[in-house]
């Protein structure tokens, strides 16, 4: 799990070991692979877990944003939440379900129907999305989701965001460009075997 845009994120590394109630221990390969710029921009003690140098006497506030299109995104969100137990104040939010509940129910039902009944159509949709740069061609119809995310960032003021759904990093980039306020974020890729391009084209705040 690396900041979006980190070159180390393209390397196959062992998953971090997670102990109950503790932050994950990052593997030595990850520590060597991830450049110092990533370590500077995200408030992490890379040896002991997440820390918060911004304010004393409080845990860092971490917003995890997910989407219920299949169970993989939510499972990843719960895993990160559990790994940060006791180390951070964590909030898990399904942005699509919160911002567009009726549309979310319809699109989720359509998604589940297609992958179970029309696997060839789903394969075609996957291949089309794999050729699309979401930074240049954003998904249409998600403006309410981005506005909801903007309000959440303004009201809850997280120190960092963890994204387990591929469209959210682009929304964070859009908000940073529009408002000038860039919130550090990590992207947790939930594709199992082949990573779709839609995960890989977002920008990430980087240290000097």
Query: Percentage of the chain with pLDDT > 90?
Result: 60
Determine the pLDDT at residue 70.
84
Angle at 194 between CA 192 and CA 198, to 5 degrees: 100
Strands of the chain, DSSP E: 2-3, 44-45, 49-50, 61-66, 89-94, 160-163, 185-187
pLDDT in tens, 121-146: 999 999 999 999 999 988 999 999 99
72 alpha carbon, distance to own chain's centre: 12
For 89, the token pair is 């104040």
Cα dihedral 200, 146, 106, 63 sign:
positive
Query: Percentage of the chain with pLDDT > 70?
Result: 71
Mean pLDDT of the chain: 80
Q: What is the pTM of this model?
A: 0.74
Phi and psi for 154 in degrees, rounded to 5?
A: -70, -40
Neighbours of 35 (CB within 10 A): 15
pLDDT in tens, 63-116: 999 999 989 999 999 999 999 999 999 999 999 999 999 999 999 999 999 999
How far apart are the C-alpha atoms of 109 and 106, rounded to whole Å?
Answer: 5
Q: Which residue matches tokens 């932050």?
A: 23
For 201, the token pair is 């084209």
pLDDT in tens, 21-50: 444 444 444 434 444 444 444 455 544 444
């Amino acid at each position: 799990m690396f900041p979006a845009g980190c070159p180390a994120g393209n390397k196959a590394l062992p998953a971090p070991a997670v102990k109950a109630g503790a932050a994950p221990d990052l593997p030595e390969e990850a520590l060597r692979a991830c450049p110092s710029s990533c370590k500077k921009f995200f408030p992490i003690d890379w040896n002991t877990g997440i820390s918060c140098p911004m304010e004393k006497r409080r845990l860092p506030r971490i917003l995890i944003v997910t989407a219920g299109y299949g169970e993989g995104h939510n499972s990843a969100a719960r895993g990160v939440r559990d790994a940060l137990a006791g180390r951070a104040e964590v909030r898990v939010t399904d942005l699509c379900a919160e911002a567009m509940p009726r549309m979310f129910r319809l699109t989720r039902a359509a998604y589940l129907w297609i992958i179970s009944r029309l696997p060839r159509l789903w394969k075609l949709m996957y291949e089309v999305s794999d050729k699309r740069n979401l930074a240049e061609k954003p998904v249409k119809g998600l403006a309410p989701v981005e506005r909801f995310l903007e309000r959440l960032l303004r009201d809850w003021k997280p120190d960092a965001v963890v994204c387990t759904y591929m469209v959210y990093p682009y929304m964070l980039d859009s908000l940073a460009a529009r408002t000038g306020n860039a919130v550090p974020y990590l992207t947790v890729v939930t594709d199992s075997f082949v990573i779709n391009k839609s995960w890989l084209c977002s920008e990430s705040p980087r240290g000097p």
